[in-house]
Amino acid sequence: MWDKDKEEYKRVKEIKEKYENFLMSKKGVVGCGIGYKEIKGKKTNILSIVCYVEKKFPQRNYQIKIWFLKNSRGFPSTFKRRGNSK
């Protein structure tokens, strides 16, 4: 891993740790991790917070995403369907 990649991963991890409890407290959220942002189902090379949800509910996920973007100053996030694993 390049030094730049290590620094980016460290930054993503800090953001994840800061907001993980909030994200996990939301209905339908079953996990939180670090991965690559997906746009229209295609993986990018952008590290992001990955929020795993039971089902993709566009309105609920959108509200969580908007809150997260405002509070994390626009940090990238991705929602993935995972099922119930809490």
CA angle 46, 16, 83 (to 5 degrees): 85
- Residue 72 in domain: yes
Confidence band for 83, pLDDT divided at 50, 70 and 90: low
What does the pLDDT read at residue 38?
A: 85
What does the pLDDT read at residue 21?
A: 92
Task: Give the CATH number of the domain where residue 7 resides.
Answer: 3.30.70
Domain carrying residue 32? 3-81
- Residue 70 in domain: yes
- Residue 28 in domain: yes
- Residue 86 in domain: no
Count of the separate structural domains present in the chain? 1
Confidence band for 79, pLDDT divided at 50, 70 and 90: confident
81 vs 74: CA distance, rounded Å: 22
Kindly report, residue by residue over 20-71, the tens digit of the pLDDT. Answer: 998 888 888 899 999 888 888 888 988 888 888 887 766 666 677 777 777 7
Residue whose structure tokens are 């800090």: 14
